[in-house]
Amino acid sequence: MEELTIALTKGRLADKTMELFTKAGFSCEEMKEDTRRLIFHNKEQNLNFFLSKGPDVPTYVERGAADIGVVGSDIILEEKRRAYEVLDLGFGRCRMCVAGPESARERLQHHEMIRVASKYPNIARDYFYHEKHQTVDIIKLNGSVELGPVVGLSDVIVDIVETGSTLRANGLDVLETVCDISARMIVNQVSMQMKQERIRELILAVRKALES
């Protein structure tokens, strides 16, 4: 059996992914132990699983350090790495939104020059420049983006909204929806050719597990 290496997004997404993979017949006992280890093996099925930060998953997959990756579509859109996107896994659902104080709504509609804070500068640029044809000032942040409008760094933010509680707690509202987000399976382009049979089998099994 050919070896397969799978990059998972550390945290809740990895837990959900392993739940699904187990249902599909690809489990990993080693991962159930409470450990700081980052890589785990299933010797019988010749599978390796490793845990990485979301934004790094497409990098591992593009460069072939992982054959397969599971990551949010927000990261795929932001990182723009070469890989085949093969499955929507349906979990990790949220929305990419433009959010801000109600007072920013009108400025958005009138295509004024606004300041946009985001962990996702590429998504923000694609949305404002290419979809809305609006020139904006994009400010890259690394987290707690909701602070932007609150402390006067930016007029709005582009960020993911799941329950909306972070926005509400900081007096902000969703002003526009950019796109829906969910977890996706991606595959290295060379692996897809070289390990075609094994990868196809895995995709099929995961798809069946999703449908059942």
Task: Report CA-CA distances (Å) from 194 to 51, 67, 90.
Answer: 24, 10, 27
Torsion on CA atoms 119, 122, 124, 127, rounded to nearest 10: -150
Q: Which residue is nearest to ligand PRP (CB)?
A: 143
User: Do 11 and 201 meet the contact criterion of CB atoms below 8 Å apart?
Assistant: no
Measured from the CB atom, the residue of 143 and 152 that comes closer to ligand PRP is: 143
Q: Of 14, 89, 81, whose CA–CA distance to 50 is shortest?
A: 14
Please report how close the Cβ of residue 138 comes to ligand PRP at its closest, in angstroms: 16
Tell me, by CB under 6 A, how many residues bind ligand PRP: 12
Measured from the CB atom, the residue of 28 and 117 that comes closer to ligand PRP is: 117
Please report how close the Cβ of residue 99 comes to ligand PRP at its closest, in angstroms: 9
Tokens of 70: 């599971």
Measured from the CB atom, the residue of 136 and 181 that comes closer to ligand PRP is: 181
User: Do 155 and 100 meet the contact criterion of CB atoms below 8 Å apart?
Assistant: yes
Contacting ligand PRP within 109-168 (CB under 6 A) = 143-146, 159-166
Contacting ligand PRP within 38-97 (CB under 6 A) = none
Given the rule CB under 6 A, which residues bind ligand PRP? 143-146, 159-166
